[in-house]
């Protein structure tokens, strides 16, 4: 059964500006160490933007936004051995998903030269 659906679209330039303006402080606040390592290998703002949209899309599907002790770093975009993206949750978000019986999170990411988009579907 579908619990929620979320989609987010962002201009890659917006993430570039945030990183250039706030540097490592922004990156450390939003992205896990694994996400930082993955994106630094690609030297691409699109990589950071796609992960940001995935986090936003998840919060929309979950229906809460970022509040009540939630942190950006509690949502991690990972990839399996074939390159398929998936979400790993930590902390309060992980506890809340378990509490609500939410076990399946589907993630799709894409980007062009100017935009990144993500869609999340959460199933119970």
Q: Is 35 annotated as a binding residue?
A: no
The token duo for 31 is 């992205």
**CA 23 – CA 70 distance, rounded (Å):** 22
Q: Is 56 annotated as a binding residue?
A: yes
Closest CA to 78 of 99, 58, 98: 58
**CA 121 – CA 3 distance, rounded (Å):** 8
Active site positions, annotated: 60, 111
Residue ranges for the known binding site are 8, 56
Residue ranges for the known binding site for Mg(2+) are 8, 56
């Amino acid at each position: 059964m579908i619990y929620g659906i979320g989609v987010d679209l962002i201009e890659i330039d917006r993430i570039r500006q945030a990183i250039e303006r706030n540097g490592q402080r922004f990156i450390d606040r939003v992205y896990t160490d694994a996400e930082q390592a993955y994106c630094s290998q690609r030297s691409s703002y699109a990589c950071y933007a796609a992960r940001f949209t995935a986090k936003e899309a998840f919060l929309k599907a979950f229906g809460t936004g970022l509040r009540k002790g939630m942190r950006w770093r509690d949502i991690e975009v990972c990839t399996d051995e074939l390159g398929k993206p998936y979400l790993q949750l930590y902390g309060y978000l992980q506890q809340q998903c378990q509490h609500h019986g939410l076990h399946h999170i589907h993630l799709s990411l894409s980007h062009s030269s100017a935009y990144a988009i993500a869609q999340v579907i959460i199933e119970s």
